Chain A
Amino acid sequence: MAEAVGKKTFVVTRFDPDRDEVPRQQAYEIPVQADWKVLDALNFIKDEVDASLSHRWSCRMAVCGSCGMMVNGEPRLSCKDPLSDYGDTVEIAPLANFPVIRDLVIEFEGFMEKLKSVKPWIIRAKELAAEDGPVNQKPSELEEFKQFSMCINCMLCYSACPVVANEPEFIGPAAIALGHRYSLDSRDEGAAERNEIFRGEGTVFSCSYANECSEVCPKNVDPAAAVNQAKFNAVIDWMTGLVIKRGGQG
């Protein structure tokens, strides 16, 4: 085992609706190891100090997206966030811009609805059967959408987004990136449907282009770029529709 290299104090925002009216803060001073991530410290507290601390986690390899939280005021994936980046006191709080269920556990249902609303699946006029075999897709066509498919739904971008802060119903960076990802996929024929969704209220045109989402993304996805491209496509699509309509009338 690696040796403990010292102690740190974790000031954790706690909230249990069974007993708390408002969130409270609780400090834990624990021994830490040099190679620990923030999540390791929380798991140590959970196992050795206070079993009532509630947080979500699973893969501890930055891919399941469960363990997002605020660390010293910034949205972070706690299994990826090295403890050595912080001083003797580390503040831990639930992700900003979400209702809190308990302690560090945030309400995720809103995102599930937002995600579904952008139709994040392949849409084709005629569905393919297994016998049709795989659709041909050039590496360059794959590159078109690939980075937007890397989203792990960790919600850090919602936590950083100034629009979500003021307008909680804003569909948000990850959902837009994932909808846009399918519209960019050469196998998909659903872009027009999604453009119509993106022209609706509380979607791409609510974005103030602060770019915070792309800066906090732990997987280097660029949701801000997706939002911008989706805006452009939604407008072009709408204008093309007008031209065709007018042409049809003439």
Chain B
Amino acid sequence: MAEISNHDIVIVGGGAAGLRAAIAASDADPKASIALVSKVYPMRSHTVSAEGGAAAVARDDDSFEMHGFDTVKGSDFLADQDVIQYFVEQAPKELTLLEHWGCPWSRNDDGTVATRAFGGMSTKRTWYAADKVGFHMLHALFQHCLRFDNIVFYDEHFASRLLVEDGRARGVAALDIREGTTRVVLGRAVILATGGAGKIFPFTTNGNIKTGDGMALAYRAGVALKDMEFVQYHPTGLPGTGILITEATRGEGGTLLNSEGERFLTTRDYGVGTKAELGPRDMISRAIIQEVEAGRGIAGPYGEYVHLDLTHIGEKKILSRLPMVQELSKIYIGVDPVHEPIPVRPVVHYMMGGIDTDIGAATTLPGLYAAGECASVSLNGSNRLGSNSLTECLVFGAAAGLNALAHAKGSSEGSEASLKGQGEEEAARIDALRGKQKGGEKLSRIRTDLNHAMESGCGVYREQASLDEAVRTVAGLKGRYADIALDDSSTVFNTELIAALELGNMLDVAETVVNAAAWRNESRGAHSRRDQPARDDQNFLCHSLASFDPAGPRLGTKEVTLGHWEPEERKY
């Protein structure tokens, strides 16, 4: 029998967006009961790995107009302009609140908050806490959350199904990882804040937990995933592990060099102009791939790479502003950036796409909200600017919390019986999957095959034939997944079972990525096609929508909100 608990709001995900939503709702109504369901303890959430900073206008030489224009241009004009305007105006307020909650922002000598340069940003507007910004923001948010007794933490609970009744989101069925039982966690509004899905790729900065869970929950419940073809490759990951080396290295003066020691972003035309290393991520990743293809890469055991040189910055600045970069480089590639350049190559980092929401974080399913990387509120369009996403988690996490609370207050409880029935169905599904012996397919093999299909179909550069191939492969893998066999039948902390549920989510998310990418016959932002190198506003200045169908995703489009900035050629 599935145990039932009742709350006003159920939040899935304990990273920056989920925690910010919980705080916003608690501040607005300290009596509201808020469930925070997370498959890991909140401080393990992947926000922890963000490094470089969070953007918000802070200086006299900056303006909302400038932050907005940088963002819309970075998005290759696929972002919704009303969303951008709301975002840039809310951003300073949100980072100030984080300051009040203890985030140790780095400071200028006079004690004001320091800002640094970042890719695609026209002035210094990225707030930072050395190069551990995500870590400090996450811990500040989590520790601040501990003061609210109305937030009920369901830690290490895996939300495996969205419960919908009478056309409204009413909670989740969540597997208690430690007990092996399924709980029915009900609320009158649900917020998904589960982050990205980088683990569908083999080479990613993302942690093991980034398997697109929230995206898949919404997708299977009939909510469309938007702009899934846009996958951000961060230009500078460590070869082999994919560990992120922050863009702040370049913000602090780091340069990219090819095998000839040439600073190729200044000597060759890659579209970034005088921005050079501070160009946007999509362009710099393409530049690195082109350098390697032209034979100017440096050979290594994990493929060819280029050099990120910080040696001219000096030890003092590296230690004070980039200590984690030094630590990671030393531990994970045996290089001290004070003395030697760091080997780097483009690495899957961030999904611009996600659960389709409006400007208030609401989805098309009444009662369901989404924020952070799992959502696509259309701030980032086809290419996100570095340091906009941590702020996005706060701005739209807060909006989700407040709007979900308002929705919860205005709606009735409805029938528990049908929700309980759905919970029991889900418990039965999970019990049948646990230790399932019948089947000929191995979990880790399907995951590896998925990773390869995504890398060959949806790399930095794409083309029709390989995309079509990836569409077929992913569809085939979904068939093989149905025939999976599992070894671990234990009810207690069964991580093989969790991995199997995650793989199901990854396959659903992956099919939207490859199908949307195969459909978008143009090059825009991070979606760069060799067979169609130009942007095509006539036919593709629109969002893609992928809706669930057992036979494969149905694709549709959605209008881009323009009105303030006229789309123009994106050249820096």
Contacts and interface: CB of A to CB of B under 8 A. Distances in A.
Interface residues of B, number: 64
A203 B301 CA distance: 50
A1 B59 CA distance: 46
A178 B143 contact: yes
Contact of A18 (B96, B147, B491): B491
Contacts of A187: 100, 102
Which one of B95, B99, B101, B178 has the greatest number of beta carbons of chain A within 10 Å?
Answer: B99
Contacts of B494: 54
Contacts of B491: 18
Contact of A47 (B40, B101, B113, B444): B444
Interface in B317-358: 324, 327-328, 331-332
Interface stretch (B73-81, B104-112, B217-225, B270-278): B104-112
A63 B97 contact: no
Interface string A28-60: 000000010000000000111011101111111
Contacts of B444: 47-48, 51
B35 interface: no
Contact of B493 (A105, A149, A153): A105
Interface string B484-500: 00111011111110000
Contacts of B135: 63, 152
Given A61-B332, A63-B135, A121-B143, A136 B492 contact: no
Interface string A183-199: 00101100000000000
Interface stretch (B43-51, B159-167, B522-530): B43-51
A22 interface: no
Contacts of A66: 40, 44
Contacts of A1: 301-302
Interface magnitude class on chain A: 35 or more
Contact of A146 (B104, B144, B301): B104
Contacts of B331: 62, 80, 82
B117 interface: no
A250 interface: no
Interface in B112-153: 112-113, 132, 135-136, 139, 143-144, 146-147, 153
B488 A52 contact: yes
B132 A18 contact: no
A59 B107 contact: no
Contacts of B102: 121-122, 182, 185, 187-188
B220 to A, nearest CB: 24
Interface string B249-277: 00000000000000000000000000000
A132 B490 CA distance: 53
Contacts of A178: 143
A231 interface: no
Given A133-B96, A187-B102, A120 B109 contact: no
A17 interface: yes
Contacts of B302: 1-2
Nearest to B97: A130
A17 B492 CA distance: 7
Interface stretch (A137-145, A205-213, A234-242): A137-145
Nearest to B493: A102
A17 B493 CA distance: 10
Nearest to A61: B243
A18 B490 contact: yes
A128 B492 CA distance: 45
Interface in B262-321: 301-302
A119 interface: yes
A142 B104 contact: yes
Interface of A: 1-3, 16-19, 35, 46-48, 50-52, 54-66, 80, 82, 101-103, 105, 108, 112, 115-116, 119-122, 127-128, 130, 132-139, 141-142, 145-146, 149-150, 152-153, 178, 182, 185, 187-188
24 contacts: A16-B490, A16-B492, A17-B492, A56-B44, A58-B44, A58-B46, A58-B208, A58-B209, A59-B208, A60-B208, A61-B241, A61-B328, A63-B132, A63-B135, A66-B44, A80-B331, A130-B93, A132-B96, A139-B106, A142-B107, A146-B104, A152-B48, A153-B41, A153-B43
Given A58-B207, A121-B102, A185-B102, 4 more contacts: A55-B495, A132-B100, A133-B96, A134-B113
Interface of B: 40-41, 43-46, 48-49, 93-97, 99-102, 104-113, 132, 135-136, 139, 143-144, 146-147, 153, 155, 178, 207-209, 240-241, 243-244, 301-302, 324, 327-328, 331-332, 443-444, 486-488, 490-496
